[in-house]
Structure 1
Amino acid sequence: MLFSDHPRTHYRSAPAHEVICQLRFPTILTINNVEPADFQESIREAFPQYVRREEAAPPKVTGLGGPNPRVEQQPPVTNYTFLSADGRWKLNLTRDFIALSTLSYPGWEEFAHHLDKPLASFIQIYQPAFFQRVGLRYVNIFSRTKLGLEGALWSELFAPAYTALLREPDVEEDRILGCNSDVVVKLDSSCQAKIHAGPGRMKPAGPNAPQDPEVKFIFDMDLSMGGNTPCTLSAAALETLHGHGTRIFEGAITDRLRQAMNPD
């Protein structure tokens, strides 16, 4: 099934590799041109480390449909990065979005708590008109070795929606070099999810890092709410996306995998 009403569960061996929340707003040029000193001061206790970098902006094409279309280079985008003291939490601010991410996901309540003050400070200082897109992304990576499931097949651990080919009687899993599922699904009148699922090997962490030989299962959910979300409803929008994400995640896994993740 694609969705499940299984009760929300905390897993002690959760597979979340990275969790990212991003809120996009109409461009505020001040952010690009003036360092956000007031914003930094408001969050410096939780995010004491600061890095500024310039990133190339995609070119703009003008005059399409006319005799002389032109490609215009755009000025670089300034990306302000604020890091927690232990480096586990990263906050990014640009002229178009604010984002929080972590590679050490502790659960939804703590994640939301880390976002509360930075988001409130951003709204107070910069007063965006609204949020054009509210996004919440979960990159889950399942390792059978870490979960004690070395002998299990992916088709025993994930729903048929994501393992259809692997369930065919004449298919041997270790002979399949690629078997990914990509779907975009409408969740309600304003929300959608882009889901990528399938087995694969992780890229090495650095240029000289060895290749991890284990095949893992990647379950990547990118949930978003479009339209113009009032700033006062941004927290509620994220709660809505988290609720949708829970139903999708629980619908993707089987009871065998559930138990291996050590539910509370």
Structure 2
Amino acid sequence: MLFSKHPRTVYANAPAHEVICQFRFPTILTINEREPAALQEAIREDFPQFARKEDAAPPQVEGLGGPNPQVRQQKAVSNYHFVSADNLWKINLTQNFLALSTLRYTGWEEFARELDRPLAEFIRIYKPAYFERVGLQYVNILSREKLALQGTPWSELITPAYLGPLSEPDVREEDVINCGMDLQCKLDSSSVAKIHAGPGRLRGNRPDAPEGDPEVKFIFDMDLSMGGQVDCKLSAGAMETLHAHATELFEGAVTDALRAAMQPE
């Protein structure tokens, strides 16, 4: 089962490691040319820290197919960072997108509240024509140690659709060196999901992963998006729609045993 109608549940031990939403819009050159002082002033109470980084732009090939094609290096893209005092929430702004990310996801309501002002102020100040893409990504990391499930096979915690060979009774988990599932599917007429699922070890550069962490965790990464020309007035509704799809996908991936271990509130 990919989609579940299980009621939306808030879990005390929710596995969301990082949550990111992004709004892509047609290029606004003034963002790259002038620092966004007006936006900073509007959100500085919640995001007091500021930094500017220069992201390298891919080179552009001119005259491709002709006798003398030329590669021209493009101007770097300014990436403005507005960060909360506790470093757990971050706004990113470039000439092509606005994004909010957090490493402390406690629930959709808080995430939506943190998004409200930056999104509204961005629309007020820069007046984008529309959003080309609205995206919502959940990076879920399931730790059996954290959930006191040591020794419980993934086949009892994750539904077969995301396990592949690990769901087969004659496959021993410890014998599988690498096993991952990648899926891209339509959610409705304008929304799609890209999902990666599978066991693995965290890289040492993650904030919660000490170097040499030996535990094999289960990664369930959902990247949902809505394309087309999304009216700015409908952007919050678009995000709500993606969140509803994410809930059905997540609940379709976990078993009742895992739900119990995550402690429904």
* AA in 1 matched with 2:246: G
> What secondary structure is seen at the aligned counterpart in 2 of 1:80?
strand
Instruction: Work out the CA distance in 2 between the residues paired with 1:253 and 1:71.
Output: 49
State the match for 1:134 in structure 2.
134
Instruction: Work out the CA distance in 1 between the residues paired with 2:66 and 2:159.
Output: 50
Q: Which sits farther off after the overlay, 138-147 or 167-176?
A: 167-176
> What secondary structure is seen at the aligned counterpart in 2 of 1:211?
coil
Q: Which structure 1 residue ranges, 5 or more long, are not aligned?
A: none
State the match for 2:211 in structure 1.
210
Residue pair 2:47, 2:84 contacting (<8 A) in 1 also: yes
Deviations 1:88-138 (A, max 9, x none): 110011100000000110110100100100000000000000000000000
Instruction: Work out the CA distance in 1 between the residues paired with 2:50 and 2:118.
Output: 14
Give the TM-score of the pair, scaled to structure 2: 0.97
Instruction: Indicate whether 1:252 and 2:249 are aligned.
Output: no
State the match for 1:6 in structure 2.
6
> What secondary structure is seen at the aligned counterpart in 2 of 1:227?
strand
State the match for 2:97 in structure 1.
97
Instruction: Work out the CA distance in 1 between the residues paired with 2:171 and 2:193.
Output: 29
Q: How many pairs were matched up?
A: 263
Instruction: Indicate whether 1:243 and 2:244 are aligned.
Output: yes
State the match for 1:50 in structure 2.
50
Deviations 1:174-201 (A, max 9, x none): 1111110000000011000000000000
Give the C-alpha shift of residue 87 in structure 1: 1.1
Instruction: Indicate whether 1:229 and 2:225 are aligned.
Output: no
Runs (4+) off by over 4 Å: none
Fraction of identical pairs, as percent:
66
State the match for 1:165 in structure 2.
165
State the match for 2:41 in structure 1.
41
Give the C-alpha shift of residue 21 in structure 1: 0.4
Instruction: Work out the CA distance in 1 between the residues paired with 2:103 and 2:50.
Output: 18
State the match for 1:263 in structure 2.
264
Residue pair 2:133, 2:225 contacting (<8 A) in 1 also: yes
Give the C-alpha shift of residue 18 in structure 1: 0.3
Residue pair 2:163, 2:198 contacting (<8 A) in 1 also: yes
Q: Which sits farther off after the overlay, 95-104 or 51-60?
A: 51-60
Deviations 1:179-237 (A, max 9, x none): 1000000001100000000000001127xx52110000000000000000000000000
> What secondary structure is seen at the aligned counterpart in 2 of 1:45?
coil
Instruction: Work out the CA distance in 2 between the residues paired with 1:91 and 1:69.
Output: 38
Residue pair 2:20, 2:136 contacting (<8 A) in 1 also: yes
Give the C-alpha shift of residue 151 in structure 1: 1.5
Instruction: Work out the CA distance in 1 between the residues paired with 2:62 and 2:6.
Output: 50
Give the C-alpha shift of residue 83 in structure 1: 0.6
State the match for 1:124 in structure 2.
124
Give the TM-score of the pair, scaled to structure 1: 0.97
Instruction: Work out the CA distance in 1 between the residues paired with 2:160 and 2:262.
Output: 20
> What secondary structure is seen at the aligned counterpart in 1 of 2:61?
strand
Give the C-alpha shift of residue 164 in structure 1: 2.4
Give the C-alpha shift of residue 167 in structure 1: 2.1
* AA in 2 matched with 1:217: F
